[in-house]
Structure 1
């Protein structure tokens, strides 16, 4: 059992660095952790590091997305800074959903980096982050020869997909486009509500001024200004709710899940290329060794022993050259074994991940849309209540 909540955001401003961190509370019976109940404070960059490590170490898994790094509602009135309370609330909800989905994933929950993220002290986590950054940089610095071989392999025609992967690839591309379009369209409706709240912020004071100039309607106009201000607050709460737990949050998260599914398919393509490259490199190294062996097979050994094997004569003819060729073959065999392992791992998990994607997506939308409908009904009821109260006031006016 691993239960995780993200609460209590704190804004830290000072000097050139400003950030918000969150309280991550953990309740668990997992023996990997020293305590059963504890908490740490983490900032967005820490979550970003964890997701990067999971993506790197589990290329066949659909890693849940993080909430957007930038404020997606900057165009909305009152949403100018990334330290805006509404934006922080949306980020908090998104970060908790990310951790809960990771904790519910059979493979991701076993990641040592997750334990580090949840348990390490701040300086220990920073040390781990620095170490992983160095490892990532080293992995990017391929030799010129390896880079050229990799480029040559990538220029070759890719092995055709089987029917299952081909169908999954088409689905992932289409689903991502559709859900992202739906997210943009719904965000436009949320923007309309935010714009209406902005208009009400001007309309309420206008009626307040009218109450001072029209004595006979002073009280009704005062009620009007008050109810319009209440409607403005209601609209702003609706906008916030949409981003935290409403349809906007649901669509944004599922667009991120679809993007992660596409990343898994890209990882599969990369693993296939790496496996093909490693196979060709091993074949090349093996032929180089065989050619050298054949060239030196008829040379008399320096030792008078007549029972020396071919390999022994090979090394005795030119020990340094033979040793280098043998080392290259062994390295190529090891690289092929690693590439084979990654390729097998991704192919083994991709079907399971796809099924899990469909299952969780169906659950998310079934639950999320019910919540959205109830939220809309409550929103409409609250609006009507304010208008009915105003109607009761104006019906009393002669």
Structure 2
């Protein structure tokens, strides 16, 4: 869009506390600014980006920082009073998937329409197109800036080599819905919604985003960070506080159960589809049969009609499963994987502190320098732990609400389905009942 401007990356922002509450924001100024992650594990195999940047001073009041609102409207939008309900000020829609074929690759882009009343945005409405790798970049940047916040999961990566027609329409639509949910979950998050990279993702045109993305650390640097994180992760586990041990135990149990539910749900759906495919054949068979049975024409056609109505009811129930239950369950399978990553990042931050304390104990380096580093790391660990604990409770409540709603809706849909099928067959049987004939037969006996 003409006239769109980009501010500097989130690492340049001075953010002290959450615009929606008093808790410090990971990645903010002061001690919490130390929460910028040392680890970013991004898949770079299909990144093809360009460079664009616009420097913004920390003292520039036109900065997009949520703590430096550009207007009274921005201040109103970003301050949440405890006795006020949430007022949604950011609306995001992901739609209109579009195929692209090049000599090198085939990919899909999605249109993203953003409408907002926030003052830190240059306009009230934006329209951009993004491909899947752009969403991967955003997820990585959020993890980098907020290592112990629970970032919403993305649908799994899926690469098709060759013709774009090999992208199944159902797959594209399923991914579109998942990407739509991903962005809206971020928009609804009290901290992530004000992340600078998120705003850039929603507003920058393709060439601007490509340029902005190249400002990040290189792949080799991230690989080195990842190796160090894996090597030190077990040390952080040893010193994990009891509350985080309980959290980790919950995640492991939850992961096992939700994966089992996901497999069972997928199997039920497959069996339902097989049943539906078989049932569709019975209607036409009864119609053909009626052509050779003059005495049973009405009865056979009636059966065919009942089967047809049951087929439609079954198809509707399958649609409910594929839209209401399966995506929700699978999303929380992905969430369980995300949570394990969050715990590892928390342990890594703890490990940094433990290493410094150990070095000071054995006086392996300058004591004054180590003492200063320990003070900073203690603040970093405290911010990381507080962010995780606050986000953990929020996530658990959302998880319970989502799963309860999904299972309740599925149960209600099943009840309606069986009631409809039962009513269909009862109506048919009633129409076929010949009471006088039955009475005559009883008299003869």
> What is the TM-score when the length of structure 1 is the normalising length?
0.72
Residue 156 and residue 173 in structure 1: after superposition, are their counterparts in 2 closer, same or farther (change >3 A)?
A: closer
Residue 11 and residue 157 in structure 1: after superposition, are their counterparts in 2 closer, same or farther (change >3 A)?
A: closer
Residue 219 and residue 358 in structure 1: after superposition, are their counterparts in 2 closer, same or farther (change >3 A)?
A: same
Match of 2:222 in 1: 139
* Residue-by-residue CA offset, 1:204-239 (whole Å, 9 max, x unaligned): 343343244445445654554455455444434433
> Which residues of structure 2 form unaligned runs of 5+?
1-88, 160-164, 438-445
Root-mean-square deviation over aligned CA pairs: 3.7
Residue 277 and residue 162 in structure 1: after superposition, are their counterparts in 2 closer, same or farther (change >3 A)?
A: closer
Q: Is residue 171 from structure 1 mapped to residue 171 from structure 2 by the alignment?
A: no
Match of 1:36 in 2: 124
Q: What secondary structure sits across from 1:258 in the alignment?
A: helix
Match of 2:339 in 1: 261
Match of 2:44 in 1: none
CA deviation after TM superposition for structure 1 residue 121, in Å: 0.8
Q: Is the 8 A contact 1:25 1:40 kept in 2?
A: yes
CA deviation after TM superposition for structure 1 residue 164, in Å: 1.2
Q: Is the 8 A contact 1:32 1:115 kept in 2?
A: no
Distance 2:146 2:95 in 1: 28
**In the alignment, which of 12, 15, 19 is matched to residue 107 of structure 2?**
19
Residue 99 and residue 157 in structure 1: after superposition, are their counterparts in 2 closer, same or farther (change >3 A)?
A: closer
CA deviation after TM superposition for structure 1 residue 28, in Å: 0.9
The answer to which of 193-202 and 224-233 deviates more is 224-233
Q: Is the 8 A contact 2:94 2:110 kept in 1?
A: yes
Q: Is the 8 A contact 2:269 2:321 kept in 1?
A: yes
**In the alignment, which of 384, 387, 398 is matched to residue 349 of structure 1?**
387
Match of 1:112 in 2: 196
Match of 1:248 in 2: 326
Match of 2:411 in 1: 373
Q: Is the 8 A contact 1:150 1:277 kept in 2?
A: no
Match of 1:199 in 2: 278
Q: What secondary structure sits across from 1:273 in the alignment?
A: helix
Greater gyration radius: 1
Q: Is residue 273 from structure 1 mapped to residue 351 from structure 2 by the alignment?
A: yes
Distance 1:228 1:201 in 2: 8
Match of 2:72 in 1: none
Count of residues paired in the alignment = 340
Distance 1:47 1:210 in 2: 55
* Residue-by-residue CA offset, 1:68-106 (whole Å, 9 max, x unaligned): 4459xxxxxxxx965233x33332322222212111112
Residue 138 and residue 157 in structure 1: after superposition, are their counterparts in 2 closer, same or farther (change >3 A)?
A: closer
Distance 2:230 2:289 in 1: 75
Match of 1:319 in 2: none
Match of 1:98 in 2: 182
* Residue-by-residue CA offset, 1:111-170 (whole Å, 9 max, x unaligned): 1111121111122223334444x534323246xxx96x995x667685432221111111
Residue 349 and residue 377 in structure 1: after superposition, are their counterparts in 2 closer, same or farther (change >3 A)?
A: same
CA deviation after TM superposition for structure 1 residue 269, in Å: 1.2
> What is the TM-score when the length of structure 2 is the normalising length?
0.65
> Which residues of structure 1 form unaligned runs of 5+?
72-79, 288-328
Q: Is the 8 A contact 1:220 1:393 kept in 2?
A: no
Q: Is the 8 A contact 2:152 2:182 kept in 1?
A: yes
Q: Is residue 209 from structure 1 mapped to residue 278 from structure 2 by the alignment?
A: no
Q: Is the 8 A contact 2:94 2:177 kept in 1?
A: yes
Q: What secondary structure sits across from 1:9 in the alignment?
A: strand
Residue 171 and residue 157 in structure 1: after superposition, are their counterparts in 2 closer, same or farther (change >3 A)?
A: closer
Tell me which of the two structures has the higher relative contact order, counting C-alpha pairs closer than 8 angstroms and 6 or more residues apart.
2
Distance 2:310 2:295 in 1: 24
